[in-house]
Amino acid sequence: MKGLTGKKEFVRRSFASIAGSYDPLNTLLSFGLNKWWRRQAVKALAPPEGGLVLDVCAGTMGLGKELLRSAGQLRVVALDFALEMLARGMKRTKDPSLIPVLGDAERLPFREDTFDRVIVGFGIRNLADPQQGVKELFRVLKGEGRLVILEFGKPTLVIFKDLYRWYLSRFIPWAGGLISRQKEVYRYLHDSIMAFLEQEELMEMMKRAGFLQIHSRQLTWGITNLYIGEKPPVGFSPS
């Protein structure tokens, strides 16, 4: 893809290099919790029957498949900038309701007010400019539409937080590196989680983009967080 520099190109190349092992390693290293986290995100999204949903940073389209499995009649557009990830996801589905699109989350190739719902799973932390990404999510969402973001957090529970830090900083790079042969990518996972915004900061970013009724919920003692926000109806003016 043309024009990607610095973090963007590093992230795109990293995911391209682990596309083949991404799903099995995710399931293994999260003890299967990744599937439960996705189900919670889809539940929170509550897409309307027959609706059009955008899954941004879709990767191998795990969220899109979960949406189609559990939420009835929908069309899901799955956008990612790593062709290898989308191609991997397409291998195991022929469902025409799941539509892959190669594109940049910070410059979405869609018109304003296109989607009934927008979802991002473990993607926002990977953006070079998360505020620009959130602005784009707001732009393409229809009035009264909902955004759900699922992202890793930093657990604070005593003892558990130390165990988790060890697991994330030592075990995952070792095991992930061994299986995928891309240790650097699994080191980046730790570094990017640690460097990412606090819960309150991401909610503030959503507010700045224009979202209302913003709230968040911790899953599995804060290993992941769900963020939910609504786009105001057309013609709404904040008082």
Binding residues vs ligand SAM (CB under 6 A):
8, 11-12, 15, 57-59, 62-63, 80-82, 85, 104-106, 121-123, 126-127
CA distance 158 to 234: 45
Residue pair 12/1 in contact (Cβ under 8 Å)? The answer is yes
According to DSSP, the residues that pair with 55 across neighbouring strands are 78, 119
Q: How far is the CB of 159 from ligand SAM (least distance, A)?
A: 27
Q: Say if residue 50 is exposed, middle or buried (CB neighbours under 10 Å; 0-12, 13-18, 19+).
A: exposed
Question: Given the complex with ligand SAM, which of 181 and 235 has the nearer CB atom?
Answer: 181
Q: How far is the CB of 49 from ligand SAM (least distance, A)?
A: 23
Question: Given the complex with ligand SAM, which of 218 and 232 has the nearer CB atom?
Answer: 218
Cβ neighbours for 123, distance < 8 A, ≥ 6 positions apart: 56, 57, 58, 59, 105, 151
Residue pair 146/206 in contact (Cβ under 8 Å)? The answer is no
Question: Given the complex with ligand SAM, which of 23 and 116 has the nearer CB atom?
Answer: 23
Question: Given the complex with ligand SAM, which of 66 and 116 has the nearer CB atom?
Answer: 66
Q: How far is the CB of 129 from ligand SAM (least distance, A)?
A: 9
Q: How far is the CB of 8 from ligand SAM (least distance, A)?
A: 6
Question: Pairing mode, if any, of strands 224-230 and 212-219?
Answer: antiparallel
Q: How far is the CB of 127 from ligand SAM (least distance, A)?
A: 5
CA distance 125 to 48: 27
Question: Given the complex with ligand SAM, which of 114 and 232 has the nearer CB atom?
Answer: 114
User: How is residue 49 written in tokens?
Assistant: 């029957």
Question: Given the complex with ligand SAM, which of 28 and 232 has the nearer CB atom?
Answer: 28
Q: How far is the CB of 70 from ligand SAM (least distance, A)?
A: 15
Q: Which residue is nearest to ligand SAM (CB)?
A: 59
CA distance 239 to 136: 24
Quote the radius of gyration of the chain (alpha carbons, Å): 17
